[in-house]
Amino acid sequence: RDLHSFPTRRSSDLLQLEISERKRAEEAFHKTQAELAHLTRVMTMSELATSIAHEVNQPLAAIVTNGDACVRWLGLEPPNLDRARDSVARMINEGKRASEVIKRIRALSKKTTPHKSALQINELIHEMIALLGTELLKNKIRLTTQLGPDVPLVFGDRVQLQQVILNLVVNGIEAMSEVQGRSRELLMRTEKASSDRVQVSVQDCGCGLDAEQSEHLFEAFFTTKPGGIGMGLSISRTIIEAHGGRLWASPTSDYGAKFQFALPMAEGSES
Ligand code: ADP
């Protein structure tokens, strides 16, 4: 009879352990979800591969943890079958989660296969603004556009170039999130820069660029944001350079930062 008190105590210890492990796994999952949402904004095919390992590792780790727990529940004298069954049920759920991540990534990668055509950059910007309407409102941001009437067409991938623009705008919005006591202004400009280039700029009046940090902005995983990943600008630069262009940042005279990119115009385009 006395023997039973030992497994009971072990049971409650194990239960405690399981609860804290589960809580940790849940928190990690929510964080991953938020990161994925942020990443898909700017994700290209090659970068997707990097995130797959990370995304799938978490459910795999949870499966191992629950497998260990299950073995322990079964090893008790007498075995606790209810708890063992719960652990197996969680393993099944984690397995399903892993396959959902893969499915989502597959769907994404289909969308990001580059497809180049002649594009009017002003049109892309208009589409972006329509998409961002509520985000701008919510953050009390006043957007001004100065879209050159004579901007030539560029030859590029619509989705990728939209991802770059979206990333620059979202960074501008985020940079202004702490601005108080002055208006939050975002300026988007397009112009014909030289005889054969189209230039786009996104200027905000947010926290601005620290001279020391400026050197690192475009490096992968450089971020100053608590929830940031630091992939946006590095992916954006990769995209622009793959289009034969250039992307750079400069401080503005008073507050904020200006991000600009230049792209070669499409051959034979003089729209
Ligand atoms: P993330 O947004 O995840 O941090 P990014 O690569 O898009 O990744 O940006 C890297 C870093 O560059 C940001 O963390 C921030 O420090 C800086 N940055 C980007 N855009 C701006 C901006 N408009 N104003 C000030 N700093 C910026």
**For 86-113, how does the pLDDT look when each residue is reduced to its tens digit (9 = 90+)?**
999 999 999 998 888 777 666 655 555 5
Q: Which residues pair with 115 in a beta bridge?
A: none
* Residue 14 and residue 73 in contact, taking contact as beta carbons nearer than 8 Å: yes
Residue ranges around ligand 1 (CB below 6 Å): 167, 171-172, 175, 204, 206-209, 217, 222-225, 228-234, 257
Q: Which of 38, 171, 223 to mutate to test the pocket of ligand 1 (most atoms within 8 A of CB)?
A: 171
High-pLDDT (> 90) share of the chain, %: 42
Amino acid at residue number 263: L
| Nearest residue by C-alpha to atom 25 in ligand 1 | 208
Exposed, middle or buried by CB within 10 Å (0-12, 13-18, 19+), for 144?
exposed
CB 267 within 8 A of CB 116: no
Distance CA 28, CA 90 (A): 15
Distance of CA 130 to the CA centre of its chain: 20
Atom of ligand 1 nearest to the CA of 259: 23
Minimum CA distance residue for ligand 1 atom 7: 232
Distance 145 CA to ligand 1 centre (A): 22
Residue 148's SS3 state is coil
Cα(174) to ligand 1 centroid in Å equals 8
Cis peptide before 114 (omega within 30 of 0): no
| pLDDT of 5 | 43
Residue 81 vs residues 3, 70, 260: alpha-carbon distances, Å: 18, 9, 62
Kindly state the average pLDDT of the residues 54-67.
88
Residue 156 has pLDDT above 60, yes or no: yes
pTM for the structure as a whole: 0.65
Q: What are phi and psi of 106, to 5 degrees?
A: -60, -45
Protein residue closest via CA to atom 23 of ligand 1: 172
Q: 217 C-alpha vs ligand 1 centroid, how far in Å? A: 6
Instruction: Tell me what percent of the residues of the chain surpass a pLDDT of 70.
Output: 81
Question: What pLDDT is recorded for position 106?
Answer: 66
4 CA from centroid of ligand 1 (Å)? 59
H helices, E strands: number in the chain: 7, 7
The H or E element spanning position 248 is strand 246-251
Residue 178, number of CB atoms within 10 A of its CB: 9
Cα 224 to averaged position of ligand 1 atoms, centre (Å):
7
C-alpha 243 to ligand 1 mean position (Å): 22
